[in-house]
């Protein structure tokens, strides 16, 4: 099963293009040894600006599979860009139908401008009870027909919000300036508190554990978009300038405080105010929920404890290193709270650096993320609102890799998985097997339900004679789908390791699946001989000899077999 690709049509009725959910799949029936985790949130949780292989949920998933091989671990990411706590609340009852064992929540940055938010172009009402009524009525087709008709009429008069060069970020903003502690600011805080509280209560009623997380953002690298002030206090710009001055004077603790104050006074509410983190801790305390201390992790990974461009792509989305830190923070919180098991067979010291070095991603993923951010930063609010987005209207890729990355972004039918496959095939043709392996591995981490990705990745390792690394990939592929290739090579590798008894079932199955494969017949005959089943070895070898009498090693094996059989 997977999330309905059209699910976000429930919440976006003024946009021609809507964000899509992630590609996680899960079993219709949860197995007895299953452990099912649902992950909820917005664009950061969805891994923006990167693809599925760099979501913190995917990192968590594949790592948990490694350290709990006896469990059938499933991690289902329900996040998409531009959604907030209203969408999460609407998802909650449906998630409960699929027997979650744990829910991870990282949300808050989209609370004002995300779909149905108090300052969003995709709002239906400024009053929470009306928005909640809408969420109930949307299940009726007549209501949806009226809603879509009104949305169409509204769109006929719009000229600015849906300009071709406007990003989704720009199209969703209705109220550009929300002063600190203003009525609309307070409405956003109430909206966040009440929805998150109701989400937690619904899971609590069904005894489903929930882990909340603090929100993090780029406080040092991005100045306030819209400078406002609270009462007689300094403006956001003045506070940011003071923070920079204190940083230069090496007064780092004071600088941090002023960076956060400047961020909270930013009238353009793309970064959640610290009051949201207070709400998260308050609800965590009331309901006894673990709260991931994400701010501490990001501060500890930043020079002088000031998170900035070192961990973020722009104002709030982590870079690749940042996403691995997020995964580490969630995993360590799970371990501390004895989720899945009381004892974990890891100290998590591999995070984040060693795990990142071994991960399935390549330069293509980095460049794809960079392009998406360049497009974002070429538009409002990073550039004046009236100016066209030059990355959308006048960008010309120069190198072959740039052209490939641009094709991935621009062509709906050519995704990043196609890009990795294209590069892998080129490297394989040129016998650059290690580079091909890295592209196929990235493809595997992008689509861990795709058996061909496992087979191609294992094949590159086999070509490089890295058999021990290939073996677990081949075994994992068989959990998805039986293939002759996997059975043949597991059998052959086991035979090389002199594990004859373990090799036989795989070789027999491979021979049944493809009776024409003479290499398999030779290995199977040898395995029978080594296990003392000489008659079966003889029979298998005769079939091989009828097909390929000159097969290397067949003559020697025949001589050995005849010698043994004649002695009997």
Task: Say whether both 426 and 529 belong to one domain.
Answer: no
**Could you give the angle at which helices 85-96 and 183-205 cross, rounded to 10 degrees?**
10
**In DSSP terms, which residues pair with 120 in a beta bridge?**
173
Q: Where are the alpha helices (DSSP H) in 231-319?
A: 236-248, 252-264, 274-287, 294-300
Query: What CATH number is attached to the domain comprising 131?
Result: 3.40.50.1110
CA distance 412 to 401: 18
CA distance 92 to 527: 54
CB 84 within 8 A of CB 117: yes
C-alpha triplet 75, 78, 82: angle, nearest 5° = 145
CB 319 within 8 A of CB 302: no
CB 236 within 8 A of CB 265: yes
In a domain, 20, yes or no: yes
In a domain, 140, yes or no: yes
Task: Say whether both 90 and 169 belong to one domain.
Answer: yes
Contacts of 4 (CB under 8 A, 6+ apart): 21
Task: Say whether both 335 and 366 belong to one domain.
Answer: no
CB 135 within 8 A of CB 144: no
Maximal C-alpha separation, the chain: 104
**What does the pLDDT read at residue 168?**
75
What does the H/E/C string look like for 346-385? CCCCCCCHHHHHHCCCCHHHHHHHHHHHHHHHCCCCCCCC
Instruction: Choose the final residue of a domain: 480, 498, 520.
Output: 480
Query: What CATH number is attached to the domain comprising 527?
Result: 1.25.40.10
CB 79 within 8 A of CB 40: yes
Element of type H or E holding 102: strand 102-106
306-332 residue pLDDT tens: 999 999 999 999 999 999 999 999 999
In 3D, which of 521, 491, 492 has the Cα closest to residue 506? 491
Contacts of 143 (CB under 8 A, 6+ apart): 137
CB 514 within 8 A of CB 527: no
Task: Say whether both 17 and 93 belong to one domain.
Answer: yes
CA distance 244 to 255: 7
CB 295 within 8 A of CB 274: no
Contacts of 523 (CB under 8 A, 6+ apart): 488, 491, 492, 495, 503, 507
Task: Say whether both 353 and 441 belong to one domain.
Answer: no
Instruction: Choose the final residue of a domain: 430, 445, 480.
Output: 480
Task: Say whether both 97 and 232 belong to one domain.
Answer: no
Task: Say whether both 181 and 291 belong to one domain.
Answer: yes
In 3D, which of 53, 55, 21 has the Cα closest to residue 439? 53
CB 485 within 8 A of CB 459: yes
In 3D, which of 40, 56, 39 has the Cα closest to residue 48? 56
Task: Say whether both 455 and 546 belong to one domain.
Answer: no
In a domain, 338, yes or no: yes
In a domain, 1, yes or no: no
> How many folded domains does the chain comprise?
4
Task: Say whether both 136 and 258 belong to one domain.
Answer: no
CA distance 15 to 151: 9
CB 538 within 8 A of CB 561: yes
- b or e along 200-234 (b: 16 or more beta carbons within 10 Å of the residue's beta carbon)? bebbeeeebbbbbbbbbbbbbbbbbbbbbbbeeeb
In a domain, 290, yes or no: yes
In 3D, which of 363, 270, 286 has the Cα closest to residue 82? 270
Task: Say whether both 103 and 175 belong to one domain.
Answer: yes
CB 83 within 8 A of CB 115: yes
Query: Measured between alpha carbons, how far is residue 116 from residues 162, 191, 539 in Å?
Result: 17, 10, 71
CB 226 within 8 A of CB 266: yes
**What does the pLDDT read at residue 141?**
61
Task: Say whether both 34 and 97 belong to one domain.
Answer: yes
In a domain, 369, yes or no: yes
Give every residue of the chain whose pLDDT is below 70, as ranges.
Answer: 14, 16, 124-126, 138-166, 386, 568
CB-neighbour burial class of residue 127 (10 A; exposed 0-12, middle 13-18, buried 19+)? exposed
**What does the pLDDT read at residue 244?**
98
- DSSP symbols for 379-421: STTTS-TTS--HHHHS----SHHHHHHHHHHH-TTS-HHHHHH
**Residue 40 phi, psi dihedral angles, 5° rounding:** -125, 145
Instruction: Choose the final residue of a domain: 359, 389, 414.
Output: 359
In a domain, 2, yes or no: no
In a domain, 86, yes or no: yes
Query: Measured between alpha carbons, how far is residue 97 from residues 28, 38, 155, 339 in Å?
Result: 11, 12, 36, 21
Question: What pTM does this model have?
Answer: 0.92
Task: Say whether both 99 and 212 belong to one domain.
Answer: yes
In which domain, by residue range, is 534 found?
482-568
* Residue percentage of the chain with pLDDT more than 70: 93
């Amino acid at each position: 099963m997977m999330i309905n690709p059209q699910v976000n049509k429930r919440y976006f009725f003024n946009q021609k293009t809507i964000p899509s959910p992630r590609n996680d799949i899960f079993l219709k029936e949860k197995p007895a040894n299953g452990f099912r985790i649902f992950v909820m949130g917005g664009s950061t949780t969805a891994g923006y600006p990167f693809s599925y292989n760099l979501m913190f949920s995917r990192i968590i998933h594949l790592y948990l599979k490694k350290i709990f091989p006896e469990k059938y671990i499933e991690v289902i990411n329900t996040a998409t860009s531009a959604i907030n706590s209203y969408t999460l609340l609407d998802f909650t009852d449906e998630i409960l139908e699929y027997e979650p064992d744990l829910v991870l929540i990282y949300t808050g940055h989209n609370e004002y401008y995300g779909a149905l938010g108090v300052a969003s172009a995709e709002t239906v009402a400024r009053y929470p009870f009306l928005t909640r009524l809408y969420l109930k009525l949307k299940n009726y087709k007549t209501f949806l027909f009226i809603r879509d008709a009104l949305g169409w009429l509204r769109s006929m008069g719009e000229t600015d919000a849906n300009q071709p060069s406007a990003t989704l970020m720009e199209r969703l903003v209705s109220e550009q300036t929300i002063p600190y502690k203003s009525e609309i600011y307070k409405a956003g805080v109430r909206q966040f508190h009440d929805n998150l509280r109701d989400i937690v209560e619904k899971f609590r009623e069904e005894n489903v554990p929930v882990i909340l997380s603090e929100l993090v953002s780029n406080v040092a690298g991005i100045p306030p978009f819209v400078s406002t002030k609270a009462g007689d206090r300094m403006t956001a710009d003045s506070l940011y300038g003071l923070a920079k001055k204190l940083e230069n004077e090496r007064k780092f603790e004071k600088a941090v405080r002023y960076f956060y104050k400047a961020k909270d006074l930013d009238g353009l509410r793309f970064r959640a105010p610290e009051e949201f983190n207070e709400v998260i801790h308050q609800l965590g305390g009331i309901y006894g929920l673990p709260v991931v201390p994400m701010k501490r992790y990001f501060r500890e990974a930043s020079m002088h404890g000031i998170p900035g461009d070192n961990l973020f792509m722009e104002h709030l989305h982590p870079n690749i290193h940042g996403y691995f830190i997020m995964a580490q923070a969630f995993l360590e919180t799970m371990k501390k709270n004895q989720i899945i098991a009381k004892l974990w067979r890891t100290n998590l010291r591999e995070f984040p650096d060693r795990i990142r070095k071994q991960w399935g991603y390549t330069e293509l993923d980095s460049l794809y993320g960079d392009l998406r951010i360049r497009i974002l930063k070429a538009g409002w609010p990073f550039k004046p609102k009236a100016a066209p987005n030059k990355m959308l209207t006048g960008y010309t890729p120069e190198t072959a890799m740039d052209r490939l990355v641009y094709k991935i972004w621009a062509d709906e039918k050519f995704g990043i998985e196609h890009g990795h496959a294209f590069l892998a095939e080129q490297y394989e043709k040129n016998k650059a097997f290690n580079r091909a392996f890295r592209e196929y591995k990235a493809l595997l981490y992008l689509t861990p339900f795709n058996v061909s990705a496992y087979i191609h990745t294992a094949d590159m390792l086999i070509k490089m004679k890295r058999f021990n690394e290939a073996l677990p990939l081949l075994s994992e592929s068989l959990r998805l789908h039986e293939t002759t290739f996997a059975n043949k090579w597991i059998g052959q590798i086991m035979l090389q390791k002199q594990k004859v008894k373990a090799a036989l079932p795989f070789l027999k199955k491979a021979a049944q699946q493809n009776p024409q494969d003479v290499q398999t017949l030779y290995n199977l005959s040898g395995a029978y001989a080594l296990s003392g089943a000489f008659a079966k070895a003889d029979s298998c070898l005769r079939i091989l000899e009828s097909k390929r009498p000159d097969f290397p090693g067949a003559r020697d094996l025949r001589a050995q077999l005849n010698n043994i059989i004649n002695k009997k």
